[in-house]
C-alpha cells in the first residue's frame, strides 16, 4: 500500500488545482482519474466549447465582412474541421495538466477510485486489477455529468447531452435545445451561427433564468434577431424518436404543440457523480445529490473532504478551484477565510456574452434594500460601436445609504473579461463613488462600467 498526505479523487479544475496547491504546500500528493486529466471542464466542457464558440464568432465576422468595409467571397464552414479544432484544443490542455502533475511531483493514478474506511482508497485499473492507497486526507472532487429527465432519456444520437453536442460527426439541420442555462444557451448560439435551425425550450418565464431580468430580455431579443426561436414557460413532456428525426411534445400556456427536429439537446442541469464511490461504506453524509461539508469542505467523517460540483455551492469551474485551494490550505494549517458565495461571478459565452456577480435588482428589492440602479448601453459606447458589436449594456446596483456595490450585470461583447472589476471591487468593499473617481481608459468597453455607476448617481456624461 502506498501512503500519501493527500489523495484527490478526480482531476477536473477542482481536483488538479487542489493537488497542485497541496504539493506546493509540501504535502505528498496523489490524484486518481478514471478518464482524462482535466476532467469534464478541460476535455468536454469549458475549454472545448470556447473553441467551438470562437469558430462560430469568426464565421459570423466573415459573413458580415462588408459591415467593416471588407470583401470575403465564398465564405463557408467545414463543420468537421471546427469540431476537430475544438478537440485539438482540449487535448492540448489535458497534456498541459499532465505536465503540471510531473512538474509538481504529483503521482497520477489511473483507474476508478472507491473510498474505503480508515482513510483508504481502492483503485481499479483498466485490467480490473485493484490497488489500495491510504492518505491522511482524502479529497473528493468527482464532479458532475449531464442530468437526464424521465421525459427526455438520452440515447446519444437523437437525444444528446453536452458531450455529443460538441463532437457530432454531421451538423444537424435543426435542433431543439431544452434548457437555457449557460450550457444550453452556448450551444444554441454555436449551432445557430453554424446555420442550424435552433429552437430553445425553457421551463421558466425567462431564458438564462439566474440572470437579472433585463439581461434575460436583452439576450432573448438578440437571439431572436439572429433567428433562434425561443419558447419560455414551456416544458417537453415527451419525445418520439421512432421516425427519421425527433418529435417533441411541448406544453405551453397556449396548450400542447409538436416540434420536429433532427436532434434534441438536453441541457437541463447536472447530476453529481457520487454513486458507487464508497460514500455509504465510509458513512459520509449526503443530501439531495450533494455531499454535506462545513466551511472548510470537511465531511462528517474526519479525514474525508469534498469540493466542487459534488457539494452544495455553485457548480462552476472557478468555484471548484477556489474551494480546493481553501481546503488544502486549511489542511496545511494556514489561516483561511470561508469562501464568499455571494461574490462568485457567472459567465455565459454566447454572443452577446453575459456576465454577472452579486444581487439582481429583483433580489435587492426583495431584501427590502434602498437601492440606486445605473445602466449604460453599449450603443452609447464608442469602442462598442467601432467594433460593430453595440448590443447590450452594463447595469449596476448600489446600496443607496452606504454605497455598497450590491450587484453588477453585463450583456455584450467581451463582458466575461470585464466582470472581474466588479468582483474585486466588491471584495475590497469599494463604494460607488470610488469606482466613479477611478479613471477608466478611453475608448474601451470597460468605460461602460464607470458610466453605469455615474448613471446610478445621476452623473452620467455620455447618455
List, as residue ranges, the binding site for NAD(+).
179-186, 202, 269
3-state SS, residue 101: helix
Cα separation, 212 vs 363, whole angstroms? 9
- Over the Cα atoms of the chain, what is R_g? 24
Q: What is the DSSP string of 35-56?
A: S-TTHHHHHHSHHHHHHHHHHH
Cα separation, 419 vs 394, whole angstroms? 10
Cα separation, 161 vs 410, whole angstroms? 28
The answer to whether 21 and 328 are in contact (CB under 8 A) is yes
Q: Which of 64, 409, 433, 442 is catalytic?
A: 442
Interaxial angle between packed helices 46-63 and 182-194, expressed in degrees from 0 to 180 and rounded to the nearest 10: 40
Kind of pairing, strands 290-291 and 286-287? antiparallel
Look up 433 and say whether it is catalytic: no
> Judging by beta carbons within 10 Å of its beta carbon (0-12, 13-18, 19+), is residue 381 exposed, middle or buried?
buried
Strand partners, 355: 347, 410
Q: Binding site: what residues are annotated?
A: 50, 113, 179-186, 202, 269, 309
Where residue 17 falls (left for φ over 0; alpha for ψ -120 to 50; beta otherwise) is alpha
Active-site residues: which are they?
Answer: 442
Amino acid at each position: 500500500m502506498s501512503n500519501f498526505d493527500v489523495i484527490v479523487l478526480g482531476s477536473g479544475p477542482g481536483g488538479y488545482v487542489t493537488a497542485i496547491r497541496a504539493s506546493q504546500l509540501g504535502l505528498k500528493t496523489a490524484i486518481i482519474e478514471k478518464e482524462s486529466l482535466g476532467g469534464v471542464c478541460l476535455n468536454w466542457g469549458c475549454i472545448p466549447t470556447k473553441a467551438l464558440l470562437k469558430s462560430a464568432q469568426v464565421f459570423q465576422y466573415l459573413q458580415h465582412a462588408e459591415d467593416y468595409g471588407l470583401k470575403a467571397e465564398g465564405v463557408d464552414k467545414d463543420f468537421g474541421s471546427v469540431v476537430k479544432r475544438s478537440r485539438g484544443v482540449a487535448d492540448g490542455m489535458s497534456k498541459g495538466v499532465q505536465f503540471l502533475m510531473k512538474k509538481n511531483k504529483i503521482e497520477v493514478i489511473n483507474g476508478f477510485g472507491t473510498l474505503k474506511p480508515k482513510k483508504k482508497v481502492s483503485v481499479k485499473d483498466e485490467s480490473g486489477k485493484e490497488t489500495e492507497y491510504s492518505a491522511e486526507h482524502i479529497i473528493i472532487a468527482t464532479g458532475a455529468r449531464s442530468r437526464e429527465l424521465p421525459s427526455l432519456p438520452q440515447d446519444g444520437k437523437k437525444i444528446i447531452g453536452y458531450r455529443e453536442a460538441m463532437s457530432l460527426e454531421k451538423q444537424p439541420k435543426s435542433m431543439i435545445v431544452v434548457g437555457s442555462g449557460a450550457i444550453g444557451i452556448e450551444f444554441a448560439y454555436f449551432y445557430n451561427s453554424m446555420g442550424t435551425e435552433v429552437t430553445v425550450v425553457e421551463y421558466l418565464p425567462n431564458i438564462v433564468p439566474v440572470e437579472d431580468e433585463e439581461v434575460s430580455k436583452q439576450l432573448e431579443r438578440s437571439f431572436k434577431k439572429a433567428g433562434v426561436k425561443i419558447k419560455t414557460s414551456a416544458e417537453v413532456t415527451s419525445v418520439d424518436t421512432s421516425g427519421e428525426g425527433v418529435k417533441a411534445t411541448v406544453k405551453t400556456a397556449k396548450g400542447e404543440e409538436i416540434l420536429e427536429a433532427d436532434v434534441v439537446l438536453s441541457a437541463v442541469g447536472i447530476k453529481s457523480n457520487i454513486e458507487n464511490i464508497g460514500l455509504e461504506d465510509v458513512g459520509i453524509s449526503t443530501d439531495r445529490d450533494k455531499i454535506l461539508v462545513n466551511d472548510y469542505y470537511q465531511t462528517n467523517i474526519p479525514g474525508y473532504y469534498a469540493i466542487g460540483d459534488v457539494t452544495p455551492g455553485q457548480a462552476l469551474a472557478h468555484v471548484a478551484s477556489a474551494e480546493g485551494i481553501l481546503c488544502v490550505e486549511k489542511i496545511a494549517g494556514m489561516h483561511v477565510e470561508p469562501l464568499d458565495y455571494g461574490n462568485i461571478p457567472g459567465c455565459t459565452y454566447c454572443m452577446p456574452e453575459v456576465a454577472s456577480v452579486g444581487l439582481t435588482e429583483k433580489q435587492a428589492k426583495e431584501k427590502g434594500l434602498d437601492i440606486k440602479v445605473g445602466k449604460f448601453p453599449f450603443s452609447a459606447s464608442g469602442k462598442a460601436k467601432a467594433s460593430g458589436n453595440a448590443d447590450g449594456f452594463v447595469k449596476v446596483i448600489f446600496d443607496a445609504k452606504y454605497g455598497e456595490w450590491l450587484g453588477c450585470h453585463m450583456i455584450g461583447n467581451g463582458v466575461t473579461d470585464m466582470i472581474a472589476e466588479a468582483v474585486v471591487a466588491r471584495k475590497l468593499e469599494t463604494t460607488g463613488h470610488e469606482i466613479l473617481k477611478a479613471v477608466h481608459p478611453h475608448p474601451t468597453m470597460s468605460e461602460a462600467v464607470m458610466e453605469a455607476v455615474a448613471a446610478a448617481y445621476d452623473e452620467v456624461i455620455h447618455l
